[in-house]
């Protein structure tokens, strides 16, 4: 007959410490039912659930006490009944979810709010870890970012209410909170599709064209209403393009050269390409700008609207079918099929009403710096840090990128 004990050890970390503890247990042929270890600021926390033959129990306890004291470790031994252990096993098979906190910095008020909601929803935190690199004490002027990930177990009491609370405190506490199922696809996405205007690049390019054409205020007003979903995208798009009639085509290249990438865009695309992802732009904007980005960033595919040019000037028409919400959704499906992956392995990122249909199809959908109505509809939202924050939502740590 064997007995079960929970062994908790803590103390200053140093190389070989875990090996020495394991040697003590191995000497008595102790079984291991579970194990976990973490290190924060050179302080080790090691926990083992061990299975000990009763005839060896006294020797194991004696050696642990003597040797861990010599190693300057704090030791706590807790007996666990076999009934408690058997009751614990099925609990570990409950639903598992990932809660991710993102922001310029993570503070205790934010953590208190998130963990309180998790607790109120009947979920238990199994693991908490940092995905971002450690922050220096001196202020980071290059766009600091912080990310903490919680692995939680159980079933939410009210999923809709929990998501609503997360969205509410995100605005109140200047952070983003993502909640999703911890399944096999979480770290195995293969395709990433992105909107262009106000997502991959700063601002709406059509508004810049309108300023160059002398119709800036008129077009900007229509753009704003279309982005909020107040106007049909295709109809409003034709209306805006018509106002561009007469703009010299030479201005397109000039404006393309002046377009600014969104914070984190370069790092995101570089990382995705290095890891072998298929990356595409699905844009309700224009091909000339999408192709400029494709060349600059190494993006695999672009789908956008082609402006009609007549006698060196914009005619006020588009050549191709308009890339509206349904077209984006169809293109997302086509790319996934061509790559031989399911929609669960697709990441979609956008900011406007024209993106909602494609966002609804992707395994990971992210509303980036979007209006509240879009954030409520999308699976996840990201507003407080740059576009490379998407990597955290894909489960990628800073140190994994830095080691490449």
Active site residues: 195, 197
Cα–Cα distances (Å) from 379 to 295, 335, 404, in that order, read: 30, 20, 30
Contacts by 66-75, CB closer than 8 A, 24 or more apart? 67/20, 67/21, 67/24, 68/9, 68/21, 68/24, 71/11, 71/17, 71/20, 71/21, 72/11, 72/12, 73/9, 73/10, 73/11, 73/17, 73/21, 73/44, 74/9, 74/10, 74/11, 75/7, 75/8, 75/9
- Distance, in Å, from the CA atom of 159 to the CA atom of 347, rounded to the nearest integer, reads 22
Q: What does residue 17 show for φ and ψ, rounded to 5 degrees?
A: -65, -50
In contact, 397 and 131? CB cutoff 8 Å: yes
In contact, 284 and 204? CB cutoff 8 Å: no
Q: What angle do CA 151, 380, 230 make, to 5 degrees?
A: 165
**SS3 (DSSP) at 383:** coil
């Amino acid at each position: 007959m064997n007995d079960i004990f929970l062994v908790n050890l803590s103390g200053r970390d140093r190389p070989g410490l875990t090996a020495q503890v394991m040697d003590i247990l191995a000497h008595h042929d102790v079984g291991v039912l579970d194990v976990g270890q973490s290190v924060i600021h050179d302080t080790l926390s090691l926990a083992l659930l061990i299975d000990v033959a009763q005839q060896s129990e006294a020797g194991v306890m004696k050696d642990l006490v003597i040797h861990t004291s010599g190693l300057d470790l704090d030791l706590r031994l807790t007996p666990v009944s076999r009934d408690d252990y058997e009751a614990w096993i099925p609990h570990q098979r409950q639903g598992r979810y990932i809660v991710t906190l993102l922001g310029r910095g993570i503070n205790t008020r934010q953590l208190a709010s998130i963990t309180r909601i998790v607790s109120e929803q009947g979920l238990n935190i199994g693991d908490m870890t940092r995905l971002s690199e450690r922050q220096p004490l001196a202020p980071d002027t290059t766009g600091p970012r912080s990310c903490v990930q919680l692995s939680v177990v159980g079933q939410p009491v009210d999923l809709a209410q929990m998501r609503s609370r997360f969205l509410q405190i995100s605005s109140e506490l200047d952070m983003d909170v993502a909640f999703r199922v911890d399944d096999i696809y979480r770290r195995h996405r293969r395709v990433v599709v992105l909107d262009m205007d106000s997502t991959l690049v700063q601002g709406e390019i059509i508004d810049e064209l309108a300023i160059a054409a002398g119709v800036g205020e008129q077009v900007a007003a229509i753009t704003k209403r279309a982005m909020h979903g107040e106007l049909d995208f295709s109809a409003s798009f034709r209306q805006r393009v018509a106002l561009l009639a007469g703009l010299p085509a030479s201005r397109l290249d000039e404006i393309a050269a002046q377009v600014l990438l969104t914070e984190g865009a370069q790092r995101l695309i570089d990382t995705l390409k290095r890891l072998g992802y298929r990356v595409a732009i699905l844009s309700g904007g224009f091909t000339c700008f999408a192709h400029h980005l494709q060349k600059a960033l190494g993006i695999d595919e672009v789908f956008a609207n082609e402006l009609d040019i007549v006698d060196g000037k914009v005619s006020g028409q588009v050549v191709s079918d308009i890339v509206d919400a349904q077209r984006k959704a169809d293109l997302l499906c086509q790319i996934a099929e061509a790559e031989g992956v399911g929609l669960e392995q697709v990441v979609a990122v956008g900011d406007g009403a024209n993106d909602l249909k494609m966002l609804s199809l992707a395994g990971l959908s992210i509303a980036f710096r979007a209006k509240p109505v879009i954030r409520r509809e999308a699976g996840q939202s990201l507003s407080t840090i740059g576009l490379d924050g998407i990597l955290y939502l894909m489960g990628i740590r800073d140190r994994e990128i830095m080691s490449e």
